[in-house]
Structure 1
């Protein structure tokens, strides 16, 4: 059934795109998917890069709608987000510490500082940066809009984004004071991928869409044309820097206009979806949170046992997505029931016990010359602990009729 959403309220299609975006983020974090380098670059570093801006804009959009109805929504949202972030930060802390131990040389005295940098900037594991960036951006733009108009804020935030994009366009920098300054900044911050340099502009655009719906919905056709044009320009921009060495590919300038017009286009999409999309929405959230664990488990097994189809490529991605989807489903169901401390404790004990058995066998079988990622053991423990918790509560879940896949 086709139905024109003139009020920009096709929220169900947003939920499905969130799920697709979560898969795109998994693709970005995987090892090479396609054997042809330029094809892999096109898919992972151009197409999939639209995912994170989409999450920023969609989160900002729905936050702004809630805030416009209730001014206290900011406090409620931040409280919930901070609690969730601290919980996931604690869960991923052992994995993050394992990564630091293998990849960085940090003295014990500096570990508390490293923890604070991780907590407030990079995340205790690499994908968790998004939450403090989102919290900062939502709070900052909400407050700034009380004193400044959208035009001023968009210009300033886009300026921050352009500065942050030097990370992507680093190869164009000439030797001199500015390059030295940027190198010094990166040595402290590790990356410009943060709320200040990345999140602010997309959150501002999400707010703008809410506050200017009346004007925007009058030009839906123009937005659809603009989406196609911006998509083509984004692809051109990506290929233009294909051979330019950069620090990362987080920033592409055309992501800003493309994300804006494409989100409006999605909201006005004429495809009417009848089924409930809440589960899809939940899956996208948890797949984002737990996919790094599944990537480490699958890819390291593939590398250790010389199984190329698991070490990288499409087959590896399929296994990672299956594992991520399964574990996400477990967490969704567990979130619906009250977990006793005893259940959590026994889940951790069982997880650690089976991890020690699994890890012992794993390290005995692999060649002594192969260096496994230190966080592999922690990731196995993560997976086995959540699986154990699910199995321990399975009877209770079945009684409540909440066993859904």
Structure 2
């Protein structure tokens, strides 16, 4: 397995930026442009991260039996640390709901194990839970059944995106179901199928289907996704995470990114680290900008101005963190010279 995937590193960096865009509220006044910016390319970000994580997990687990244990230990520690870091935000959110104090422990458990203590941290429990489920099921059932099962669950989850098209008893069932799940963007309904796709790529990447005409397949999938985007734009549901076209687009896009040898001599590993810090830090920066702008100029900043400010500050903080040793050494040299 290669160690260097320059196009994938670039794509994941752009995907991390797209996640910031999604979290910045209404972007522009024009409805179509707002929808295009927020619900087209940006929606590829999370599927790409899921497929990438599951692909490399599967590849490494096949050659190192101890890798799953090490991987889960490392990821759970990272998740707990960031959950504690964002606990004040989670506490603030819970208190804003006017819940009875008796329900606070339940809310905390739901936040930690399901929704995350901040809105971006849902990804970790969802991914880790689903990786465990797929790894277990793969030992007992074939990929065909896994694909069918995960697609049916994704189909159920898509009721959230297509809720405006639902009527009668189906609409009533969806309302009840959604009140229980709180969000269909969870491990079983959303993440599962992308993890399965990542496993399939890892196991069958040398087959002709995943070797030939990938650009043509991606272009065809993208055309279908554009049609689906238009249908959702015409009647927008409660949320817009579930697009059937994303399954094929993310699948073939990832295959192209890992198979391409363009810029193979370039090293963009640093972008992986920037992607991680962009993901973890951006809510802190974003919410801080909104808070201080609201109480400073009595107007909450949102949309594209919020996006560009958040991106700039988060990149700046990430750069400082990644270069802290060099900066500290430089600072020490300056102090010593002036002392």
Question: What secondary structure is seen at the aligned counterpart in 2 of 1:18?
Answer: helix
| Residue 173, structure 1, aligned to residue 162, structure 2 | no
Q: 1:114 to 1:294 in 2, by over 3 A?
A: same
Among 22, 25, 41, the alignment partner of 2:16 is 22
Residue-by-residue CA offset, 1:77-96 (whole Å, 9 max, x unaligned)? 11111111111111111111
Offset at residue 185 of structure 1 (A): 2.7
For structure 2, the residue ranges without an aligned partner over 5 or more in a row are 334-339
- Report 1:292-331 matches (<5 A): 292-305=283-296, 311-331=301-321
- Report 1:337-356 matches (<5 A): none
Among 73, 80, 88, the alignment partner of 2:74 is 80
| Residue 159, structure 1, aligned to residue 152, structure 2 | yes
Query: What residue is the counterpart of 2:187 in the other structure?
Result: 195
For the Cα contact (< 8 Å) 2:160–2:240, is it kept in 1? yes
Q: Please give the root-mean-square deviation of Cα atoms over the aligned residues, in Å.
A: 2.4
Residue-by-residue CA offset, 1:133-165 (whole Å, 9 max, x unaligned)? 110111111111111111110110111111111
Distance in 1 (alpha carbons) for counterparts of 2:279 and 2:71: 19
Query: What residue is the counterpart of 1:97 in the other structure?
Result: 91
**TM, length-normalised to structure 1:** 0.77
| Residue 62, structure 1, aligned to residue 56, structure 2 | yes
Query: What residue is the counterpart of 1:119 in the other structure?
Result: 112
Distance in 2 (alpha carbons) for counterparts of 1:399 and 1:283: 26
**TM, length-normalised to structure 2:** 0.91
Query: What residue is the counterpart of 2:275 in the other structure?
Result: 284
Distance in 2 (alpha carbons) for counterparts of 1:101 and 1:397: 44
Distance in 1 (alpha carbons) for counterparts of 2:330 and 2:247: 44
Query: What residue is the counterpart of 2:336 in the other structure?
Result: none
Q: 1:219 to 1:197 in 2, by over 3 A?
A: closer
Distance in 2 (alpha carbons) for counterparts of 1:152 and 1:179: 28
For structure 1, the residue ranges without an aligned partner over 5 or more in a row are 1-6, 338-392, 401-405
Among 26, 29, 35, the alignment partner of 1:35 is 29
Query: What residue is the counterpart of 2:246 in the other structure?
Result: 255
Question: What secondary structure is seen at the aligned counterpart in 2 of 1:167?
Answer: coil
Among 98, 102, 113, the alignment partner of 1:109 is 102
Offset at residue 270 of structure 1 (A): 4.0
For the Cα contact (< 8 Å) 1:33–1:314, is it kept in 2? yes
Question: What secondary structure is seen at the aligned counterpart in 1 of 2:122?
Answer: helix
Query: What residue is the counterpart of 1:271 in the other structure?
Result: 262
Offset at residue 332 of structure 1 (A): 3.8
For the Cα contact (< 8 Å) 1:10–1:268, is it kept in 2? no
The number of residue pairs the alignment matches comes to 333
Query: What residue is the counterpart of 2:177 in the other structure?
Result: 185
Question: What secondary structure is seen at the aligned counterpart in 2 of 1:254?
Answer: helix
Query: What residue is the counterpart of 1:358 in the other structure?
Result: none
